[in-house]
Structure 1
Amino acid sequence: MTDRERVDPHMYARVFESHAEGALILEDLVRRFHRPAQLEGGIDAVLKTYHREGARSVVDHIVSMINRANGVDPNEHDEQQP
């Protein structure tokens, strides 16, 4: 991949925040793939959770890149230290 082809956080922000269709697509991805762990059902629940986490990680990456473009530190936590 050359320097011209590199994808940066600002590209994610433009595609998924600034572009109306991109924002709709991101909403759809979150709705479809950002699901909680399956807590009941034995080994089947574990497998379903692994599958969900795989799909969720893609959405999390997109949101993380948008946050970086907007100056949000990915290492910051919501809780403030005393």
Structure 2
Amino acid sequence: MTTKQVTPEDYKRIFEEMPGGPQVLEELTRRFGRAAYVPGGPEGDRETCYRAGQRSVLDFILGQINKADGVNDDVEA
């Protein structure tokens, strides 16, 4: 069995066009889209890393949707 390569258009279809997709994306954004930084020494550092990891998944999904929409949000310094 051959596995189909997942494309940015697949993310767009799932999260923007399928029934329930926009609501799922909204829920993911609400849960994992908060600010990553947490002050407070070592405990704050651990929570910051944890939140950054969660946020990176959301950022990837949103980036794929943007690619499907022709938006290039990569910023080069």
Identity, in percent, stands at 41
Q: Distance in 1 between matches of 2:54 and 2:41?
A: 21
Corresponding residue for residue 10 of structure 1? 9
AA at the equivalent of 1:44: E
Corresponding residue for residue 80 of structure 1? none
Q: CA RMSD in A?
A: 1.8
Query: Number of paired residues?
Result: 75
TM-score computed with the length of structure 1 as normaliser = 0.82
Corresponding residue for residue 46 of structure 2? 47
2:64 is equivalent to residue 65 of structure 1: yes
Give structure 2 stretches of 5+ with no counterpart: none
TM-score computed with the length of structure 2 as normaliser = 0.87
Q: Distance in 1 between matches of 2:28 and 2:34?
A: 10
Give structure 1 stretches of 5+ with no counterpart: 78-82
